[in-house]
Amino acid sequence: MQRRRALKHLLFIAGGMVMFPSCWRDQRKSSIALSNLHINSEEENLLAEIVGSIIPESDSVGGKGLNLHLFVLKMVDDCHSEEDQHVFMRGLRAWNREMKNFSGSTFVLADPPQRHSYLVTIDQDKAHPLSGFFAITKRRVIQGYVNSEYVMKNEVIYELVPGRYNGYADA
Amino acid sequence: MANINLDSIKERTFDAIVIGSGISGGWAAKELCEKGLKTLVLERGRDIKHVKDYPTTNMYPYEFEHRGEMTYADKQENPIANRCYAYREDSAHFFVKDNEHPYIQENDFDWIRGYQVGGKSLLWARQVQRWSDFDFEGPGRDGFAVDWPIRYSDLAPWYDHVERFIGVAGNRDGVNELPDGQFLPAYPLNAVEDYFKRVLASRYTNRHVISARCAHLSQPQPVHIEQGRVQCQNRVLCQRGCPFGGYFSSNASTLPWAAKTGNMTLRPFSVVASIIFDEQKGQAIGVRVIDTNTKEETEFYSRIIFVNAAALNTNLILLNSVSNRFPNGLGNDNGLLGKYIAFHSYTAVMSAEYGGELEYRTDGRNPAGGGYIPRFRNIYKQETDFLRGWAATFSATRNPASNTSGVGASLKEQLLNPTLGNWRVHSHMMGETIPKESNRIWLDGDRTDDWGVPLLHIDVAYDDNDWKIQADYFEQMTEMFDTAGFKNIKTRKDDRRPGNDIHEMGGVRMGLDPKTSLLNKWNQLHACQNVFVTDGACMTSTATQNPSLTYMALTARAVDHALDQMKRGDL
């Protein structure tokens, strides 16, 4: 339902950036135009759930609400090596299989505490088979989040024109 | 040539031609136009109008497709440009792309270029320090290169002249090695920079930390307001071009000033292939220009020519200006044109933490970047096993930062609530390099660029002296950091290539003797005196100072001399 609602707007805002949907009726493709990654809508939805678990909704909008999964896709597609892209795709495709081993459920069907403990496990275990995928994803989610229009305007304010410098400000 | 009538020649004839519109070319244009000379300013790139052509200047980080990062494909296509610290998504449009303007590297050399009106003055780091006689007397005293034909007293009034116009924030520090100037209020050091300054003052007699002197309007004067510039707003997004004109660039300052006189004709898309030497007159009479779009060749004429194409391109133009009189390049009777290229060695970086002064933090942004440590090695006499020495930046910051560990609600909470940690301190080395004949550039015999201009070979490398300087920097800075009680001290060898400092100099050096130098003490070619070279190419040695201020002062001085000679009928 969420996806359908988003599609009605035709444009996605990924962390404040407008992205044009490509072939949005086609379930075999991602909702944004990508040059190197081949992502279907199921994988895209899964990534949205992962991103939403890395930075969850609370009293403020989280990673999913900011469409940061699209930002992650954009960055992995444009700013990473082919090798990184393979790691990313392999990790995304292995995600549910590993999750089932871990908790007996797919990620999308798991409840929030289950998802969280899965993420914590991968985050802390550098030898985990999904570690590479997770490092790329987490890094890009954090980047997209702290540099999002929402955060920069409402939470940790970014000043384009500070107009001052004080080297002895009170700590 | 038969179809070119006299009117056309007249239209293409000026009192003066300036090749290049960057930091020194802009100054030549301003000074020449102010003094009433009809001046043609040739720029190989496109026009960049102040503010209007700064497309990214008011963009927020989230408005950049990749949040400032260059794409992987761009990094593969443009490895040279991508190694420049300032080449980012907000400024990439002001840099030359590798494959558009190839050159041949005999040794690894990053040639960073900005082909547009304003050149690299849009992108520079804005640090401005005067040279002292300890620098001008260096080659003579230490026996390298050739003696400079000028001393500090020759340039001091021109430093004054330039500083007043561009606006320089700084303190009168009273350090002999770094003469004071005409300053706007400095950007003060912060708590830990001041602390480090006190530590050095108590421990050493000759090591100073001063507020970095920078070309920013900390307090604009009437002459700056008249340029249309206002107070720097501490954005520190300078590489995008500044809508306030808060820092000095040709675009914000000298070029509009020159245009206002009505004497300037600015011609973008005009690459100068060569300077035309008239064998009968025994002087240069103009330049051959290739329109970069149509590739059509046109000649322009003038009484005097200022070559300010940026150091290596100035060499290239002179090398490519061959005639019967000068078969090896204009003014190149001694075969030294293109030789003794030097630069600044930026191969060392330090960082550390400091747990003191925790009642303070930094707020806002400092356009000066922090502190500056003038060279203190080998000042009064040779005292180490290397020649010359190094200057260094020193800066401290304490901004709230986010802990990015963990996942989920706690991570989100951390990201939204940055906290203050220890102070972080940083420094990087700026080493003087010794010009030598083996560091040289020359033209390829066959291959040309898209405009028929020969490709440049660049053969420039570090030498043993550079590594000794690097070792000394690490040793001395570590000792100083240690003395200050800094913790977690880290030294890092920066493997940057020569050229990445963007301070390439020499090839057309100044000197007293035409047998061993190309330019006289007024920046005129010894052998073709109506051609002046006042960009980095003229530099006999490099000192440790950021060089742009000296180029600007040399340019203003040379124009003044040119005018005198023209009045007397000598030019």
Higher pLDDT, B119 or A29: B119
- Rounded to a whole number of angstroms, the CA Rg of chain A reads 17
Q: Which of B190, B402, B408 sits opposite A168 (nearest CB)?
A: B190
Size of interface A-B (CB pairs under 8 A): 130
User: What are the chain A neighbours of B411 within 8 Å (beta carbons)?
Assistant: 54-55, 142
Mean pLDDT of A32-39: 95
Nearest to A120 among B65, B358, B407 (CB): B407
Does residue B458 carry a pLDDT above 90?
yes
Of A74, A79, A163, the CB nearest to B234: A163
B407/A165 Cβ within 8 A: no
Structure tokens at A141: 């989610």
The model's pLDDT over B284-297, given as tens digits with 9 standing for 90+, comes to 999 999 999 999 99
pLDDT band, very low/low/confident/very high, at A6 (cuts 50, 70, 90): very low
Instruction: State residue B53 phi and psi, 5-degree precision.
Output: -105, 30
Kindly state the tokens that stand for B502.
Answer: 């963007």
Task: Give chain B's mean pLDDT.
Answer: 97
Rounded distance between C-alpha atoms, residue A103 and residue B326, angstroms: 82
CB contact at 8 A, B42 and B115 = no
Mean pLDDT, residues B212-236: 98
Question: H or E segment at B164?
Answer: helix B152-166
pLDDT in the model for residue B80: 98
The span from the CA of B356 to the CA of B66, in Å, is 37
Residue B207 DSSP code: -
Tell me if B362 is assigned to some domain: yes
Structural domains of chain B, count: 1
> Mutating which of B74, B244, B407 best tests the A interface, going by the most A Cβ atoms within 10 A?
B407
In a domain, B158, yes or no: no
Establish if B424 belongs to a structural domain: yes
Q: Which residue of A has its CA nearest to B367?
A: A165
How far is Cα of residue B295 from the mean position of the Cα atoms in its chain? 29
Comparing A44 with A23, the larger pLDDT belongs to A44
Question: Are B411 and A155 inside 8 Å of each other by CB?
Answer: no
Residue A162 has pLDDT above 50, yes or no: yes
Q: What does B386-452 look like in DSSP terms, one character per residue?
A: SSS-EEEEEEEE---B----S-THHHHHHHHS-B--SEEEEEEEEEE----TTSEEEEEEEEE-TTS
Q: Please, which pLDDT band fits residue B559 given cuts at 50, 70 and 90?
A: very high
Cβ-based contacts of B401 with chain A (< 8 Å): none
Q: How many other C-beta atoms lie within 10 A of the C-beta of residue B82? A: 18
Of B61, B361, B407, which is closest to A171 when you measure between CB atoms? B361
- Say whether residue A13 is in contact with chain B using an 8 A CB cutoff: no
Per-residue pLDDT for A8 more than 50?
Answer: no
Asked if B67 and A17 touch (Cβ cutoff 8 Å), the reply is no
To the nearest whole Å, the CA of A100 is away from the closest chain B CA by 20
Write the pLDDT tens digit of every residue in A147-161: 999 999 999 999 999
* Residue B193 included in any domain: yes
- Selected residue of A79, A114, A125, A164 to mutate for chain B interface (largest B Cβ count, 10 A): A79
Nearest CB to A147: which of B62, B73, B367?
Answer: B62
Local structure of B243: helix, strand or coil? coil
CA closest to B237 among chain A residues: A160
CB burial string B245-263: b at 16+ within 10 A, e below: bbbbbbbbbbbbbbbebeb
Instruction: Say which residue, B5 or A30, is predicted with more confidence.
Output: A30
Residues shown for chain B = 571
Query: Are B72 and A155 an interchain contact pair (Cβ–Cβ within 8 Å)?
Result: no
Name the E strands within chain A. Answer: 12-14, 17-19, 165-170
A15-24, A143-152, B31-40, B72-81: lowest mean pLDDT where? A15-24
Q: A8: burial class by Cβ within 10 Å (0-12, 13-18, 19+)?
A: exposed
Residue B3 has pLDDT above 70, yes or no: no
What is the Cα–Cα distance from B16 to A107, expressed in whole angstroms?
Answer: 73
Q: Count CA atoms within 13 Å of residue B8 on its CB side.
A: 7
Is the confidence at residue A23, as pLDDT, over 70? no
Q: Are A165 and B234 in contact (CB under 8 A)?
A: yes
pLDDT in tens, B12-52: 999 999 999 999 999 999 999 999 999 999 999 999 999 99
Q: What are phi and psi of B91, to 5 degrees?
A: -135, 0
Out of A56, A155, A166, the one facing B408 most closely (by C-beta) is A56
- Determine the pLDDT at residue B7: 80
pTM higher than 0.80, yes or no?
yes
Q: What would the mean pLDDT of B469-474 be, rounded to a whole number?
A: 98
Round to whole Å and give the CA distance between A121 and A127: 11
Q: Give dist(CA B36, CA B262) in Å, integer.
A: 9
Whether A10 shows a pLDDT value over 50: the answer reads no
Residue A164: its chain B contacts at CB < 8 A? 234, 363-364
Which residues numbered 134-153 in A keep a CB inside 8 Å of some CB on B? 138, 142-149, 151-152
Residue B543 clears pLDDT 90, i.e. is over it: yes
Instruction: Name the nearest CA neighbour of B28 among B413, B321, B309, B262.
Output: B309
> What percentage of residues in chain A have a pLDDT greater than 90?
78
User: Quick check: A111 contacting B, CB < 8 Å?
Assistant: no
Q: What is the Rg, in whole angstroms, of the alpha carbon atoms belonging to chain B?
A: 24
Q: Which residues contact A4 (CB under 8 A, 6 or more apart)?
A: none
Give A103-148 pLDDT, tens digit per residue. Answer: 888 998 999 999 999 999 999 999 999 999 999 999 999 999 999 9
Residue range of the domain that includes B194: 187-211+344-432+463-497
State the complex-level ipTM. Answer: 0.94
| Best of B411, B419, B422, B423 to mutate (most A CBs within 10 Å, chain A) | B411
Residues in chain A: 171
Q: CA nearest A55: which of B409, B418, B406?
A: B409
Interface list for A 20-79 with B (CB within 8 A) = 53-56, 58, 60, 62, 74-75, 78-79
Determine, yes or no, domain membership for B376: yes
Query: Would you tell me how many other CB atoms lie within 10 Å of the CB of residue B428?
Result: 20
B189 SS3 class: coil
Structure-token pair, residue B168:
């320089």
